[in-house]
Amino acid sequence: MTASSPLFVVLAAGKGARMKSALPKVLHKIAGRSLLAHVLATASSAEGKLAVVVGPEMEAVGTEAKAVVPAAQIFVQVAQCGTADAVKAATPAIDAHSGDVIVLYADTPLIRPETIQRLRSALDAGANVAVLGFRPTDPTGYGRLVTDAQGRLTAIREQNDATEAERKIGLCNSGVMAFRVPRFSELLGRIGNANAKGEYYLTDAVELAIADKLTAAVVECDATEVMGVNSRDQLAEAEAIWQSRARIELMRSGVTMIAPETVWLNFDTRIGQDVAIEPNVVFGPGVTVEAGAKILGFCHIEGATIGAGSRIGPFARFRPGARLGPEVHIGNFVEVKNTTLEAGAKANHLSYLGDGHIGAKANVGAGTIFCNYDGFFKHKTEIGEGAFVGSNTSLVAPIKVGAGAYIGSGSVITKDVGPGALALERGTQEERPGWAAKFRQMMARRKAASTNR
């Protein structure tokens, strides 16, 4: 039997009633990715085949699995009566496979690829069954891993079926198991339900394998890796663990974070070396920050590319389609959506830049608005290289401002502006000397008359 191409059977049939949600438990997200997708990504790193077991009327879970791994096979566990029964639902995939079978759980999103590799290494070392174990602070409720004097696994005992001596064991079963067993589906078929819950436990495969003169081993991991998510508070706990891991990985790769615990990352966030991130920054999906950029505090970024050496924030917002070239400056309270800013462009204060293109070294003044939406369609604003847009300007798209052009402050520009031209649009300023004093006197008399009534 070859170890080169494992089959991962991912169990995702649980209803997740404790989540109190219309959404299936395994479709809830941490770091912008569903619990199921996290597990599938881990399994995919081993380049194996995937079989996902779902419950009845859980088409959304199968759809998510296919979206993440199009080649995944989907099987339905009709009646949920134990983990062995769930694995048996994938019998067609198991029987068509000739390598290792590894059972994972879709609500356990924090398991690392290297841990899966250690589990497989135990099979390479001679075990027919390898079980992932952990040592929780309180083992109550977990199945216990029973070992002999040599540390070899002899049985897995569920809490309700364990003796008092077995309940004192601190080494617990995560549920993750790897098998290198000839005719594995036959072994599954021999698992019975003579236990306190009347369920078919996959864990019973250990004693059956040993009875067949096969061997079983335990591979230990940190308890956080096999933490199951069954409720909203556990979802938040898993999020915190994932975020902490990701921050540490980025800092070790050359990213500076002043207050890392306040920076929130997405599963696909990409950040280059020598990027500095100030506190309270949120990265949504699809963000790339290139080397040497500086992200000031309280920025919210999604679907954006921040060019090398750029400086953004504080309090800047980037929406999908924002593309910054190198050395671009985006300042406080500027929102950028579906707009490209070429090298050296600046928009330092209080502006909305939506559906546009801004040329290299152009300067966009404070209070500038790209009026991109007419109530039915979005339109594009194009600002040429080196152009200067004065403060408090409204550019009514579709519109083009030529290279090197100037827009006077306070203008509403509705027509294209040629290269190097000056465009102004203002009402004529009128001044009435002495008007202010006369007005104040008039209003004071009115106020006094009103008070004396």
For the cut 50, the answer to whether the pLDDT of residue 386 exceeds it is yes
Residue type, 20: K
For the cut 90, the answer to whether the pLDDT of residue 241 exceeds it is yes
In this structure, are 123 and 150 located in the same domain? yes
pLDDT digit string, tens, across residues 259-285: 999 999 999 999 999 999 999 999 999
Other residues' Cβ atoms within 10 Å of the Cβ of residue 97: 20
Boundary residue ending a domain (168, 195, 226): 226
Boundary residue ending a domain (174, 201, 226): 226
pLDDT confidence bin for 231, thresholds 50/70/90: very high
Instruction: Please count the residues of the chain.
Output: 453
pLDDT digit string, tens, across residues 157-203: 988 888 999 999 999 999 999 999 988 999 999 999 988 889 999 99
For the cut 80, the answer to whether the pLDDT of residue 453 exceeds it is no
Helices 35-44 and 59-68, packing angle to 10 deg: 40
Asked, for residue 290, whether it belongs to a domain, the answer is yes
In this structure, are 201 and 271 located in the same domain? no
What pLDDT does 428 receive?
A: 84
Asked, for residue 441, whether it belongs to a domain, the answer is no
The enclosing domain of 281 has a CATH number of 2.160.10.10
In this structure, are 213 and 276 located in the same domain? no
Pairing of strands 29-30, 256-257: unpaired
Asked, for residue 379, whether it belongs to a domain, the answer is yes
In this structure, are 334 and 190 located in the same domain? no
pLDDT digit string, tens, across residues 3-59: 568 999 999 998 889 999 999 999 999 999 999 999 999 999 988 899 999 999 999
Contacting residues for 83 by C-beta, under 8 A, at least 6 apart: 11, 103, 175, 199, 200, 201, 202, 203
In this structure, are 366 and 404 located in the same domain? yes
pLDDT digit string, tens, across residues 55-102: 999 999 999 999 999 999 999 999 889 999 999 999 999 999 999 999
Question: Mean pLDDT, to the nearest integer, of 366-377?
Answer: 96
In this structure, are 305 and 188 located in the same domain? no
In this structure, are 369 and 276 located in the same domain? yes
* Residues in a beta bridge with 372: none
Name the domain count of the chain: 2
Asked, for residue 291, whether it belongs to a domain, the answer is yes
Helices 113-124 and 35-44, packing angle to 10 deg: 50
Set 300, 349, 357, 379: catalytic member: 349
- Residue 378 phi, psi (nearest 5): -95, 145
Question: Mean pLDDT, to the nearest integer, of 422-451?
Answer: 91
- Residue 125 phi, psi (nearest 5): -80, -5
Rounded to whole angstroms, the Cα distance separating 337 from 304 reads 9
Boundary residue ending a domain (226, 257, 285): 226
Residue 218 tokens read as 């335990």
Asked, for residue 150, whether it belongs to a domain, the answer is yes
In this structure, are 175 and 242 located in the same domain? no
In this structure, are 274 and 206 located in the same domain? no
Residue type, 233: D
For the cut 60, the answer to whether the pLDDT of residue 302 exceeds it is yes
In this structure, are 200 and 304 located in the same domain? no
Asked, for residue 430, whether it belongs to a domain, the answer is no
In this structure, are 397 and 268 located in the same domain? yes
pLDDT confidence bin for 236, thresholds 50/70/90: very high
What pLDDT does 108 receive?
A: 97
Asked, for residue 328, whether it belongs to a domain, the answer is yes
Q: How far is CA 428 from CA 391, 424, 425, 431, in A?
A: 18, 11, 10, 10
Chain-wide mean pLDDT for the chain? 95
Domain that holds residue 92: 2-226
Three-class SS state of 31: coil
Asked, for residue 448, whether it belongs to a domain, the answer is no
What pLDDT does 249 receive?
A: 98
What pLDDT does 3 receive?
A: 53
| 300 labelled catalytic | no
In this structure, are 68 and 183 located in the same domain? yes
What pLDDT does 4 receive?
A: 63
For the cut 50, the answer to whether the pLDDT of residue 2 exceeds it is no
Q: In the sheet that 256-257 helps form, which strands lie side by side, from edge to edge?
A: 256-257, 276-277, 294-295, 311-312, 329-332, 346-349, 363-364, 388-389, 406-407, 422-423
